[in-house]
Chains A and B, each alone.
Chain A
Amino acid sequence: MRRFLKLPFVWMFLFFLVLPYLLPLIKGYTALASEILIYAMFALGFNLLLSYTGLASFGHAAFFGIGAYAMALTQLKLSDDLWLGLLMGMVAAGFFAGIVGAIICRKRGIYFSLLTLAFSQMFFFIAFRWDEVTGGETGLTGLRRPPLRLPGLPAVSLTEPMAFYLFALAVFMVVMILIWRLVHSPFGSVLQSIKQNEVRAKYLGYNTVFYKWVSFTISGIISGLAGAMFLLQQDAVFPTYLNWTESGNVVMVTIMGGGVVNFFGPILGAGIFVILQNAIGAYTEHWLLILGLIFIAIIMVIPEGILGLFKRTKTVQQ
C-alpha cells in the first residue's frame, strides 16, 4: 500500500525531469518550466487552505509578494546567502499570515474571502507606496541568484536556466511531499472535519479557530517560499505580485486543475495556466479576453476542475 502511495511522486518527478525538453515543442522554454513549478508550489500551499480547511482566501498573492520582497531585502541589506533568503521569505510571509489569520480566522465563507481581499490590498498599497523600502512602483530590480551551497559540497551556480530548474524541482518535491504528509496526518483529518462541519469539530473538543489559524499560517509560509523562489527566477520583485488579480489567478488555477477533488489538481492547473498565458500572449494581444473566457468556461462546464472530470467519468463507468 505504502509503495503505491509513493508511486505518483516518482512519476511526477520523472515527468518534471523531461518537461524542459518537451516544452519547446509548444513554444515553451526552460524558464517557463521553472515558472510552472513555482506556481504549482504556490497553488499547493493555497489549496491546503481551500480544499483541506474549507477557507477560500482571496488575498494569497499578498503572502507570495511578501516572501519575494523579504528575500530581495535580505539579499540587498543582509547577506546574499540562498538559504537565508528563502528562510526570510518564509518567516516574513508566515509572520504576516499569522497576524492576518489571528484577526480573521473566526470568519467563514464569503466574509472570509472579502476580508482576505481587503488585507491583501493593504499590503499591496504598502508595497506600492513605501518607496524607501520596497522601491515603490519600480520595485526592486537587479537582484541575483546566489549560488547553491550545501555542506561538504562545492558551491553550484544557479544562473543557468537548467540549473535553476533542477533546484526548483528539488524544492518543489520537498514541499509537495511535506504538504502530502500534512494533509494525511491526524492534523489534516482535523482540518478536513472542520471543513465538513465546524460545529461538530468544536463539539468533539477541537479548538477549531486555532487549527484554522495554523493552516492559514502554513499556507502563508508556503506562498512566501514560492514568492521567494519566483524572485530568484525573475531577479526582480514588483508590487504587482501582490495585486488582487494575482490572488484571483491562484484560486482559478487551483480550481481549474481540480484541486478541490484531487491533491495533484493545483499542479495540473498551474501547468495549464502558465503555458496558456505564454501561448495566448504570443498569438493575440487580446489574451486577457481569451483567458477570461477560458476561466468562465471552466467554472460553468467543469467546476470540479480537470482532474474532477476524470473522477466523474470514472464513477460513471463504474
Chain B
Amino acid sequence: MPSGIDFLSQGINGIVLGLLFSLIAIGFTLMLGVIGIINFAHGVLFALGAYFAFTLRNSLGFWAALIISPLLVGLIGIIIERLAVRRMYGKDALFCLLLTFGIAMSGEELIRMVWGKLGHSIAAPAFVSGSIDLGFMLYSKYRLLLAVLSALILFLVWLFLEKTSYGAIVKAGAQDSEMVAALGNNISRMRTLVFGIGSALAGVAGVIAAPLWSVRPGMGNDAIMPAFVIVVLGGIGSFWGTVIGGLAVGLSVSLAVMFFPRMSDLVMYILAAVVLLFWPRGIMGEKSILED
C-alpha cells in the first residue's frame, strides 16, 4: 500500500505535470474559444517550438531560446492564419479542421526533412541540472523551474484576458463577433492576433517540455491529444476550465501510477468520459455558440 510520503510526492509531481499540460492546452483552447476552430496543427507548432529551441540553445542559451522560439512559432502561426486559415472563416468549421489536419501532416514531415528523423536530447540549463533533495524525496530541479514558468505564463495569459482592454474585446469576440465588429473593432486583426498568440503558447510549451521529453519529429502527437482531452474536460474556451482540466489530467496520470500503472495513459480518457456524463459541457463549460 502506498504511504503518505508516496501520496505527497506523486501529488506534487502531478501538479507540476498538470501545469505543463495546462500550458500545452491553453493556446488550443484560446483558438477554439475565440475563433471557433479546432487547430490540429497545434501539435506541430508545439514541436516547432521545441525544435527552434534545440537549434537556438547552443548559440544563445536557454533564456533567449525561451523568448525567441515562441516568437518565431507565433510568426509562423500568423503566416498560416493570413495565408490559409482566414479563408475558412464563415464556412463550416469542418473545413478549418481539415485544413489544419493537412498542415499537421505536412508539417511533421517538414520537421523530419529539416532536422532529420532522429530524436535529440536537450539538456536542462546547467543551474537546474540533476536533482534536489526535498527531505522526503529527491526531485528534479528542472521540473520545479518548469512549474514556476508554466504558472507564470498561465498567469500572464489570464492578465491579458481579464485585465487589458484588448483581452476584453477578445473575450467579447468569442461571444458575438458581429457585435464587436459593429462597435468598430477590427475583428480580422483580432483573429490573426489570437491565432498568433495561440501558436506562440504552443511554441513556449514545446520549449519548456523539450528538456523533459526530448525532441523528435512525431512529438506533436504528445501534445495534441492531451490538449483535446483537457478542453473536453474543462469546457470549451474557458481559461479556468483549461487550468483545472490540465491539473486533473496531471494528477490522475501521476496517481494512477501508484494504483494502476498500466492504465496511466488511458486514465485521462476515462476521466473525460466520466466528467462528460455529469457535466456534458465540461467542468467549467457554458452554453456556447459552437454547439449550433
Contacts and interface: CB of A to CB of B under 8 A. Distances in A.
Q: Do chains A and B touch in the complex (CB under 8 A)?
A: yes
B273 A122 contact: yes
Interface stretch (B18-26, B106-114, B118-126, B154-162): B106-114
B276 A109 contact: no
Q: Which size class do A's interface residues fall under?
A: 35 or more
B79 interface: no
B247 interface: no
A114 B236 CA distance: 10
Interface stretch (B70-78, B132-140, B262-270): B262-270
B232 A110 contact: no
A210 interface: no
Contacts of B290: 109-111
A125 B99 contact: no
B228 A117 contact: yes
Interface in A212-244: 244
Interface in A241-261: 244-245, 248, 251-252, 255
Given A110-B97, A114-B232, A125-B265, A292 B288 contact: no
B103 A292 contact: yes
Contact of B266 (A129, A245, A248, A300): A129
Interface in B208-242: 225, 228-229, 231-232, 236
A125 B266 CA distance: 7
Interface in B260-288: 262, 265-266, 269-270, 272-273, 276-277, 280, 288
A295 B107 CA distance: 12
Given A56-B92, A129-B266, A300-B99, A288 B106 contact: yes
Given A110-B97, A111-B236, A251-B98, A292 B291 contact: no
Contact of B276 (A103, A113, A248): A103
Nearest to B289: A109
B167 to A, nearest CB: 23
Given A108-B292, A129-B266, A292 B94 contact: no
Is chain A's interface secondary structure helix, strand, loop, or mixed overall?
A: helix
A44 B291 CA distance: 25
Contacts of A296: 84, 99, 102-103, 106
Q: Which size class do B's interface residues fall under?
A: 35 or more
B36 interface: yes
B163 interface: no
A121 interface: yes
A253 B121 CA distance: 38
Given A114-B38, A118-B272, A289 B291 contact: no
A117 B38 CA distance: 11
B95 interface: yes
A107 B228 CA distance: 17
A303 interface: yes
Nearest to B40: A248
A219 to B, nearest CB: 16
A43 to B, nearest CB: 14
B105 interface: yes
Interface in A92-134: 103, 106-111, 113-115, 117-119, 121-122, 125-126, 129
A216 B137 CA distance: 51
A273 to B, nearest CB: 13
A299 B105 contact: no
A317 to B, nearest CB: 25
Interface string A33-56: 000000000000000001000001
Interface in A50-84: 50, 56, 58
B94 A125 contact: no
Contact of A255 (B84, B88, B98, B273): B98
Contacts of A121: 225, 228-229, 269
A299 B266 contact: no
A19 interface: no
B101 interface: yes
A173 B97 CA distance: 31
A286 interface: yes
Interface in A107-166: 107-111, 113-115, 117-119, 121-122, 125-126, 129
B47 interface: no
A187 B57 CA distance: 61
B91 interface: yes
B93 interface: yes
A108 B108 CA distance: 30
A261 B272 CA distance: 35
Interface string B159-190: 00000000000000000000000000000000
Nearest to A289: B109
19 contacts: A56-B93, A56-B97, A103-B276, A109-B290, A110-B97, A111-B291, A113-B38, A118-B228, A118-B229, A118-B273, A122-B273, A129-B265, A248-B101, A288-B109, A295-B98, A299-B88, A299-B95, A299-B98, A299-B102
Given A121-B228, A289-B106, A290-B106, 13 more contacts: A103-B276, A109-B292, A110-B37, A110-B38, A110-B94, A110-B290, A117-B228, A118-B229, A252-B102, A286-B109, A296-B84, A299-B88, A299-B99
Interface of A: 50, 56, 58, 103, 106-111, 113-115, 117-119, 121-122, 125-126, 129, 244-245, 248, 251-252, 255, 286, 288-296, 299-300, 303
